[in-house]
Amino acid sequence: MNVNQSAPPVPPFGQNQPIYPGYHQSSYGGQPGPAAPATPYGAYNGPVPGYQQAPPQGVPRAPPSSGVPPASAAQVPCGQTTYGQFGQGDIQNGPSSTAQMQRVPGSQQFGPPLAPVVSQPAVLQPYGPPPTSTQVTAQLAGMQISGAVAQASPPSGLGYGPPTSLASASGNFPNSGPYGSYPQSQAPPLSQAQGHPGVQPPLRSAPPLASSFTSPASGGPQMLSMTGLLPPGQGFGSLPVNQANHVSSPPAPALPPGTQMTGPPVPPPPPMHPPQQPGYQLQQNGSFGPARGPQPNYESPYPGAPTFGSQPGPPQPLPPKRLDPDTIPSPIQVIEDDRNNRGSEPFVTGVRGQVPPLVTTNFLVKDQGNASPRYIRCTSYNIPCTSDMAKQAQVPLAAVIKPLARLPPEEASPYVVDHGESGPLRCNRCKAYMCPLMTFIEGGRRFQCSFCSCINDVPPQYFQHLDHTGKRVDAYDRPELSLGSYEFLATVDYCKNNKFPSPPAFIFMIDVSYNAIRTGLVRLLCEELKSLLDYLPREGGAEESAIRVGFVTYNKVLHFYNVKSSLAQPQMMVVSDVADMFVPLLDGFLVNVSESRAVITSLLDQIPEMFADTRETETVFAPVIQAGMEALKAAECAGKLFLFHTSLPIAEAPGKLKNRDDRKLINTDKEKTLFQPQTGTYQTLAKECVAQGCCVDLFLFPSQYVDVATLSVVPQLTGGSVYKYACFQVENDQERFLSDLRRDVQKVVGFDAVMRVRTSTGIRAVDFFGAFYMSNTTDVELAGLDGDKTVTVEFKHDDRLNEENGALLQCALLYTSCAGQRRLRIHNLALNCCTQLADLYRNCETDTLINYMAKFAYRAVLSSPVKTVRDTLITQCAQILACYRKNCASPSSAGQLILPECMKLLPVYLNCVLKSDVLQPGAEVTTDDRAYVRQLVSSMDVAETNVFFYPRLLPLTKSPLDSTAEPPAVRASEERLSSGDIYLLENGLNLFVWVGASVQQGVVQSLFNVSSFSQITSGLSVLPVLDNPLSKKVRGLVDSLRAQRMRYMKLIVVKQEDKLETLFKHFLVEDKSLSGGASYVDFLCHMHKEIRQLLS
């Protein structure tokens, strides 16, 4: 299909159908999370493809010039913080003007220093240090970032590739807009290549010959030059080959090979703008800045460095160079660029293999034949044609599928198609459902399945004539022929025992042991349930929910309640034989809320009083789930159990657990046992629950170890959720718990669900990740599935694909709706296929790749030592990038790290996964926390993992008070914090407000209602409600962030240099972590070393 062809007309059914409930949509943001320690990286033993370094071609580049720092750049003595230097952090994500902030190096390297490079079109000219006695600020020399195919080198003597009008998609460098493209005979004015419009930068002198830098051009790809000295015989960096896709400014010319520079350095000639050439734009945040000046307190990089006018001494080797964080890819800039470039236009799904906007961009979707990225996101939208090519690239082929995703109000929910008793039309051979990808032939009497190529007859009642293009004339009247996502009403053949299902039921099971009563949990919960039961999920325009409810309380024994509407008071029945669980009553246990309202209210009033004086501390757990499941079985319906539990179940009963928490196992081969359940009882129980359509949501309130790894098995395998409130206190945690509970009870759920992913010939689904159970290799079984849960599917080749047909996916979900209606939800997606690796690398989605890699790693810790899992991730990332370097990038010095344009954030994000609590726990992280996060991430969507692994850091006092927009984020590093500012950090689970020690008194008064910094309460969890613009703005921002996330984020106020700051810094993921995790700069150097090993 031609990418440029006009999209098919929008179908004429644009209004919501009454039969389908409009989902409510929280806004879509990205997600990141906690960081953690790093053990030293093991040596990498993967394959070593031979890599031949091509000799430099064309005119070699002139030596980079170095410059005196601009007058405005204040010098900071070593070790001194640079807070507030530029008017409270004008430099948040890198230089935004010619003024440059000096950086104190903050992290250790992994082994020998390297000079990185990063992305591949256009090369950048970092300026060398002035030949005076100061430290070399490690510019990643010549950062190249690209997704382009290597092309033939330009003819000798020409310094530039063909001009291109494509703006760089790279997020780390200045906008390429103002540059236009140079005629081939013109070079950009060298001395102004990084300057200010119309302002002439200070003259720069050339460094002594021994150093070697490649040149950063502002724009496009990046090359982080990671070498100290070039190999003998190489000039000052080879000329980068023009990369077709993303070049935004040509490289600078260079000296002819072998040119020696002796005598005093010559300043460059004054810049000459080519005619009609717009001036140079100011640097964007996070882009390459002008040359950094010398830093005080560092020895001269060149012993005997020449001064102006003196003869240079003999060349000396450079000391280790340190990378400047402002020159390496910035997640913030990439996110910002995508929002600016793709946020304004709707994403139309009519064209095969389009890469959607990032999850952090707000965009509208128009469904024209492929499923919305809200339902399916892929790691790559262009799949290699052969398995050999896929193995070579090592890019996992996976899709993250969220079948019941909620849509924003502006997008219509999937249309419901009713084919009556005949049911949906399917392929006779592979059973794929009718979709826009099927081809009608023989005048419309037959159709060819696009998945298995089988020819099928069209039933007479479904027949329609074809138009002159071979399309059915009713294609746009039928959702299944024109849309990527839609629903079919299922016939009785799709129901259990060939019987339509009853509406589902909710059973609330409340721990009434001493711990639960003492904390006030039981009273709080019973009070909330009185009103919450009015908000059970309902279908379409139904006046009331069809869901029935029941109540159980328990400690060492279980108490069932009869709340039949005809009773004056509820009746309690006790089952003490927990080893052989049964349900003592059928009639009156599951009731309609409106009919039994008075009896239910009476029960909820009585429960806290009945158990107020309990001294029972022991609890059971497995028998409680067993009882709920038996009750649903007796009522012949599916449903959900809401369990509220406080302690390790040590009472004598099936599923009894012992305390096996042992931190000494961390970093040993037995560490994996901490993530495994300690008994098989719960797996067996989960299997029975799935067969009955009984989903379990678990709310935990532990004051000590409760073995989350074991207790979460049933929720995990039944498609349920786990919520954890450690050391629960009503005054501090009430809002968070009640908010989570309301959302959990009210959300739309599909019950008793089965999902199958079909693919066209050539690939097949081989592996699945998420919260579900599988009894065979193809069917994902979910007792319950809500709009927050995803299933991640990995594909492998089983045959050759061809470019013409592409690769097709169809996800079919069979489920029971909240009203008891059996439905099929179908999502279709067509992907491109390629024979060139460059096409694969140009169409990848890093956020989805990280989502898959995190889930892969988090599952692997169940069976492998954590260190092995970490090494596997590093190895795979190095192989992906080495394959790009070897096969797609233009020849360049081995000292350059070259990253594909759309994968330039892979190292920073992967480092965040490696430092996370599951793979590298800090001393304060409990075993339960790790097990909790592990199961949480397993069903996260791409937006959630994005912000979970790389948290958002927002300065609060920068943007105008009257602006309702979110303030622009800054990079998650301590360097970006200014002590004169207040920041908000969120990762989808936590929300911090960090207050700098030098914040203005008026700001402190407006936000916290106290007169000075010292009076702010550290650990405060609620901002006072004050009637002033700043207070309203910050509270509004907190509310809006909470609305975007799946769970309520508890707020914690952290003061600079307070003991809580250690917890806050754990989320500054670009820095080195206390648990040993590498900083972003160090990890990039390490990754470059791994890649070079692979290529050597």
HEC profile of 950-1013: CCEEEECCCCCCCCCCCCCCECCCHHHCCCCCEEEEECCCEEEEEECCCCCHHHHHHHHCCCCH
Q: Which of 78-82, 579-583, 745-749 has the lowest mean pLDDT?
A: 78-82
pLDDT at position 961: 82
- Neighbour-count burial of 794, counting CB atoms closer than 10 A to its CB (0-12 exposed, 13-18 middle, 19+ buried): middle
3-class SS letters over 537-606:
CCCCCCCCCCCEEEEEEECCCEEEEECCCCCCCCEEEEECCCCCCCCCCCCCCCEECCCCHHHHHHHHHH
pLDDT mean across residues, the chain: 78
Would you place residue 282 in the very low, low, confident or very high pLDDT band (cuts 50, 70, 90)? very low
Would you place residue 807 in the very low, low, confident or very high pLDDT band (cuts 50, 70, 90)? very high
Give mean pLDDT, residues 204-230: 38
pLDDT at position 8: 46
Give mean pLDDT, residues 409-435: 95
pLDDT at position 957: 86
Give mean pLDDT, residues 689-701: 97
Q: What is the pTM of this model?
A: 0.75
Q: What percent of the chain has pLDDT over 90?
A: 65
Would you place residue 221 in the very low, low, confident or very high pLDDT band (cuts 50, 70, 90)? very low
pLDDT of residue 1091 exceeding 60, the answer is: yes
Which residue is listed with tokens 């350059």?
A: 896
pLDDT of residue 720 exceeding 80, the answer is: yes
Amino acid type, 856: F
pLDDT at position 1096: 86
pLDDT at position 539: 82
pLDDT of residue 265 exceeding 90, the answer is: no
How far is Cα 964 from Cα 9, in angstroms, rounded to an integer?
35
729 or 923, higher pLDDT: 729
Contacts of 691 (CB under 8 A, 6+ apart): none
Give mean pLDDT, residues 68-93: 38
How far is Cα 68 from Cα 294, in angstroms, rounded to an integer?
8
pLDDT at position 537: 92
526 or 287, higher pLDDT: 526
How far is Cα 560 from Cα 507, in angstroms, rounded to an integer?
11
How does 526-561 read in b/e, with b if 16+ C-beta sit within 10 Å?
Answer: bebbeebbeebbbbbeeeebbbbbbbbbbbbbbbbb
As a residue count, the chain comes to: 1096
pLDDT at position 319: 53
pLDDT of residue 1062 exceeding 80, the answer is: yes
Question: Could you tell me how far CA 800 lies from the centroid of its own chain?
Answer: 31
- Neighbour-count burial of 978, counting CB atoms closer than 10 A to its CB (0-12 exposed, 13-18 middle, 19+ buried): buried
pLDDT tens track for 502-540: 999 999 999 999 999 999 999 999 999 999 999 999 887
pLDDT of residue 975 exceeding 50, the answer is: yes
52 or 1012, higher pLDDT: 1012
Would you place residue 20 in the very low, low, confident or very high pLDDT band (cuts 50, 70, 90)? very low
Q: How far is CA 800 from CA 387, 390, 806, 807, in A?
A: 7, 11, 11, 11
Q: Name the 3-class secondary structure at 938.
A: coil
pLDDT at position 146: 44
- DSSP secondary structure string for all residues of 131-179: SSSSPPP---BS-EE----B-PPPPTT--------PPP--SSS--SGGG
Contacts of 980 (CB under 8 A, 6+ apart): 83, 84, 88, 89, 996, 998, 999, 1000
172 or 970, higher pLDDT: 970
pLDDT at position 297: 34
pLDDT of residue 613 exceeding 90, the answer is: yes
pLDDT of residue 550 exceeding 60, the answer is: yes
Neighbours of 778 (CB within 10 A): 13
pLDDT at position 314: 52
pLDDT at position 1050: 94
pLDDT at position 504: 94
Would you place residue 1009 in the very low, low, confident or very high pLDDT band (cuts 50, 70, 90)? very high
pLDDT at position 52: 40
Q: Where is mean pLDDT largest: 200-204, 283-287, 777-781? A: 777-781
Give mean pLDDT, residues 286-303: 36
Which residue is listed with tokens 């950048």?
A: 124
